[in-house]
A and B are shown apart, each in its own frame.
Chain A
Amino acid sequence: MTEALRAYNEKISAAAVEDMVLNMGPQHPSTHGVLRLELITDGEIVKEVIPHIGYLHRCFEKHAESLTYQQTIPFTDRMDYLASMNNSHAWVMGVERMLGIDKDIPKRIEYIRVLVCELNRIASHLIAIGTYGIDIGAFTPFLWCFRDREHIMGILEWASGSRMLYNYIWVGGLFYDLPVGFEERCREFVDYFKPKMDELNGLLTDNKVFIDRTANVGVLPLDVAINYGCSGPMLRGSGVKWDLRRIDNYSVYPEIEFDIPIGTGLMGAVGDCWDRYKVRVDEIEQSLRIIEQCLDRLQKELKRTPDFDPRAKLPRKLTPKPQDYYVRCESAKGELGFYFMHQQNKSIDAKTGNERMNDTEIPFRVKSRGPSFCNLSVLPELAKGVMIADLIAIVGSIDFVLGEVDR
């Protein structure tokens, strides 16, 4: 038993005498998956939170060390399973840059990638908003959000053949071109969905009870957010315009107009739960703007042609030069990063007995930096001294997906 483990055990057994130790999860619905929070409570006050994660650990990094780059794409889908497109987009971008083919990807493919990623971002934010409502006690927004999300699931299923785990974006291209009529159907959805957002705002965003439960609760100061590596809506909620779609200008985002919503402290302090929620609501509107611009381009100058092959640029073999590369992109939850270490394999020539270096399609080491992982790590800091009911509000406002925390 290590020193740290002994100290932890002593702390828990001392707390069990003085205060109360309370387990939240791993089966509690408001923990959004299989997160176990160990609370040391003094009455209704949370003195300390100790998160225990790993219940959904599926050895992503170990798998990636024995599979080729193309074979790992379905595994990336299963990290943040609510925004699978964003995950595979990040992975594919990294591999393409290592191969040096990222500039050769046809514009139509890049626009389709951005289109499906933004659709998926809306779906992910809808879940965040809907389940946040249900955490706080509002049931109706949850049903409304799931109703609208279902349309997106249907659209993406039409394109990729799968509802949640798409394996649609491939290195050098796409699994398949968009089906005929997809752009029109997608535009119909955008027109249908825009007024629904107004309804949702009236129901939840400006709801007095909702504001009372979330404003001035779980205030995350900007310096703490940065120091804890928070990213995405979590960081922007604390009032800084940090969006990798603009910072890194990857894919075709430089050609697209959109704003970066940040928390302003409209209902309480900057960086409270309401701000984080509101950033997600505003981001949905910006994503709709991006989708409309993508559709414009896809229906006009980048129209589908009969001889267009989305797999034309697919490399036969994915053998990058030996190098290290860290790719980051803005997923629905924040900065999603993959760190690739690529080396050559050593083998012994059977005829001559000499050592030989071979190109390989398998990475030497992959590390994935999940945004939810870092966003969740700030929870013990945020939850010091709050009421247990507020802890639920704070956990919900972080919007993590355990598939990505545990990988």
Chain B
Amino acid sequence: MSFEEIKSLLIGKFGDDVIVGEETGGMQPALLIAPEKIADVCLELRDNPATYFDFLSCLSGVDYGVEAGRFGVVYHLASIPYQTQLVLKISKENGRDENELPSFPSVASVYRTADWHEREAYDMVGIFFEGHPDLRRLLLPDDWEGYPLRKDYEEAEYYKGIKIK
């Protein structure tokens, strides 16, 4: 199924406002999805016999920088029966306050592999995933402060009273 057909399939299923834009400039075109719909969209793309995007290759949390003030998640889907690929993107504006993380729906119920990917995105970029079964830090210790892959991250001077810088 081509990119345009997938687009019309999603619009037919979820209405016009499910796709908020598209990026077709690069080698891999991407669909920008309304953030609150992402889990439904993934479920539809996974189970629809015409698409069967059953393999989540990669899930990346992105901090678009202090100036842009946006956070996003990029999904790279692949279909094993059809041997096709698709890129989905969601993003929203959010402040950089660590007590108010940007929040997106979790796709861990659709793709179980998203469980660890989302934990990593939470750990590194500070993105909260609603409905995730076990959203703990993955690579860093539980008592780590801050989110290292944020563009404005500065490493701490002290760790439990020990000077480390």
Contacts and interface: CB of A to CB of B under 8 A. Distances in A.
A210 interface: no
B146 interface: no
Interface in A316-367: 323-326, 328, 335, 337, 339, 341, 365, 367
A326 B112 contact: no
A14 interface: no
A323 B76 contact: no
Nearest to A247: B83
B117 to A, nearest CB: 8
Nearest to B136: A4
Nearest to B111: A227
Determine chain B's interface SS by DSSP, over half rule: loop
B74 A324 contact: yes
B135 A2 contact: yes
B26 A337 contact: no
Interface of A: 2, 4-5, 7-8, 53-54, 57, 59, 61-62, 65, 97, 224, 226-229, 240, 242, 247, 323-326, 328, 335, 337, 339, 341, 365, 367, 369, 373-374, 377-378, 381, 406-407
A374 B136 CA distance: 17
B87 interface: yes
Contact of B148 (A59, A247, A337): A59
A240 B140 contact: no
Contacts of B115: 377
B97 interface: no
B112 A337 contact: no
A323 B27 CA distance: 8
B26 A324 contact: yes
A224 B112 CA distance: 9
Given A61-B149, A62-B148, 9 more contacts: A226-B55, A227-B111, A227-B112, A228-B113, A229-B113, A339-B58, A339-B76, A377-B116, A378-B112
Nearest to B124: A61
Which of B55, B56, B124 has the most C-beta atoms of chain A within 10 angstroms of its own C-beta? B55
Given A2-B136, A369-B57, A326 B113 contact: no
Contacts, number: 94
Nearest to A54: B139
Interface residues of B, number: 37
Contacts of B116: 373-374, 377
Contacts of A229: 55-57, 111-113
Contact of A381 (B26, B56, B112): B112
Main secondary structure of the interface of A (DSSP, over half): mixed
Given A61-B124, A339-B74, A54 B134 contact: no
Interface in B30-79: 30, 54-58, 60, 62-63, 74, 76
Contact of B76 (A61, A337, A373): A337
A4 B57 contact: no
B105 to A, nearest CB: 16
A226 B132 CA distance: 19
Interface string B110-144: 01110110000000100000001011101111100
B111 A54 contact: no
Interface string B74-105: 10100010010101000000000000000000
Contacts of B111: 227, 229
B60 to A, nearest CB: 4
A406 to B, nearest CB: 6
